[in-house]
Amino acid sequence: MRIEKIKLSVVSMKLKTPFITHLGTVHEREGIVIEVMNRDGVFGFGEVVAFSSPWYTEETVQTSLHMLKEFFIPMIFQHHIEHPSEVSPVFNQFRRNFMAKAGLEMAIWDLYAKEREQSLSSLLGGTRSAIPSGVVVGAKSMKETLLQIERNLENGYKRVKVKISPQNDYEYIQSIRTHFPHVELMADANSAYILKDTHRLKALDEFGLLMIEQPLGYDDIVEHAKLQSVLQTPICLDESIVTLDDAKKAIELGSCRVINIKAGRVGGIQTVKDIHDFCLEKGVPVWCGGMLEFGISRAHNIAIASQPNFTIAGDISASSRYWEEDITTPEVMVHNGMIDVPSGPGIGYEINRERLKDVTIFEESFTKQ
């Protein structure tokens, strides 16, 4: 590959409805779009999914910009990359900063697939032509939450996820279950609980949740194993799994029965593949998480989720779930709860240049010397 130019665009878009967790509410989404261009003028696209503040992981838009400018972009210009799988080992000379690394690595995967005129899905060994789509809902009032669920089920979504915390769990889930006895329902706690709350989580066993996501500490693996041993509901780990080694430890200790894979959280597509392949071997299903992303990252997620062990509907929803207008064309669409996996080159979605320009608040380009 001959990567000549890299462009970073910081974009900002207002969410249609605020995204609420016990850690805070997101109204406005900032992110970084990364374009890599080769000598022949072919483009690859990626997105840095870090938020403006470090509430989900320690990274932010600004730390990512810093890491990309000072370290990761120069590394790409210095090393000769023949295949995108070589990017992650190069970046891992520097610690963590996984979302910054992932955005650039994923743009290089897209470029590589486009150079070969192959879809990213087929490059990754994807076996699905369509993937099931899940949606995350939650509003200030119970009434509004129930309305959101109803609307999304009418629109065909296959699985519903809600956020829980010790302030909002048993009665909340009970009420949803009463109104929707058969919906595929799961709950994400984003580390709102401690081991002493085991009884609260155990009480949720009666609602037949698909899984409970990340109940305990964001970097814990040991206490989740203790919790899983007394819960019937499968635990899914999100925040705790940032490397292949984390996945190995969690599965060996029995800390979870499912893993949520997000390319941003684990540093890119190569590690996604490594965790996916390991989980497949161990019989642990995985699904693709979401980061309130724009269309580019959504498109990557669709290709990622076409791999064989992504057997559970993930948090990959339509562009219109969050955005008035997305930055890809077409936008990501859900039909009868499914999203088609594109067969065109790379991520298989074009960039809506005009929309991208409208939402860009800062940009900077880098050229190989």
Ligand X SMILES: O=C(O)CCC(=O)c1ccccc1C(=O)O
Annotated binding site for Mg(2+): 188, 213, 238
Residue span binding ligand X (CB under 6 A) among the ranges 96-104, 137-145, 150-158, 288-296: 288-296
Nearest residue (CB) to ligand X, 136 versus 241: 136
Alpha helices per DSSP H over 17-169: 61-67, 73-78, 87-91, 98-115, 120-123, 142-154
Q: Is 47 near ligand X (CB under 6 A)?
A: no
Nearest residue (CB) to Mg ion, 65 versus 241: 241
Kindly give the pairing relationship between strand 43-48 and strand 24-38.
Answer: antiparallel
Kindly give the pairing relationship between strand 185-188 and strand 212-213.
Answer: parallel
Q: Is 238 near Mg ion (CB under 5 A)?
A: yes
- Considering 114, 158, 163, 273, which one is annotated as catalytic? 163
- Considering 114, 158, 161, 262, which one is annotated as catalytic? 262
Q: Is 326 near ligand X (CB under 6 A)?
A: no
Strand partners, 38: 3
Smallest distance, ligand X to C-beta of residue 55, A? 8
Nearest residue (CB) to ligand X, 36 versus 235: 235
Residue 291, binding choice from ligand X, Mg ion, none, Cβ under 5 to 8 Å by partner class: ligand X
Kindly give the pairing relationship between strand 130-132 and strand 338-340.
Answer: antiparallel
Q: Which of 237, 291, 313, 338 is close enough to bind ligand X by CB under 6 A? A: 291
Smallest distance, Mg ion to C-beta of residue 189, A? 8
Residue span binding ligand X (CB under 6 A) among the ranges 242-250, 284-292, 323-331, 333-341: 284-292
Nearest residue (CB) to Mg ion, 47 versus 238: 238
Residue 292, binding choice from ligand X, Mg ion, none, Cβ under 5 to 8 Å by partner class: ligand X
Instruction: Please confirm, yes or no, whether 273 is among the known catalytic residues.
Output: no
Q: Are 59 and 100 in contact, with CB atoms under 8 Å apart?
A: yes
Instruction: Please confirm, yes or no, whether 262 is among the known catalytic residues.
Output: yes
Cis ω on the peptide bond leading into residue 330 (within 30° of 0)? yes
Q: Which of 270, 317, 319, 328 is close enough to bind ligand X by CB under 6 A? A: 317
Nearest residue (CB) to ligand X, 50 versus 67: 50
Q: Are 112 and 83 in contact, with CB atoms under 8 Å apart?
A: yes
Kindly write down the DSSP assignment for every residue of 318-342, as one continuous string: -GGGT-SS-SEESPP--BTTEEEPP
Smallest distance, Mg ion to C-beta of residue 188, A? 4
**Buried b / exposed e across 236-262, counting CB within 10 Å, b at 16+?**
bbbbbbbbbebbebbbeeebbbbbbbb
How far, in Å, CA of 225 to CA of 48, rounded?
31
Among positions 239-268, residues that touch ligand X (CB under 6 A) are none
Q: Is 290 near ligand X (CB under 6 A)?
A: yes
Q: Are 46 and 111 in contact, with CB atoms under 8 Å apart?
A: no
How far, in Å, CA of 41 to CA of 128, rounded?
30
Question: Which positions are catalytic?
Answer: 163, 262
Residues of this chain that bind ligand X (CB under 6 A): 56, 136, 188, 190, 238, 289-292, 315, 317
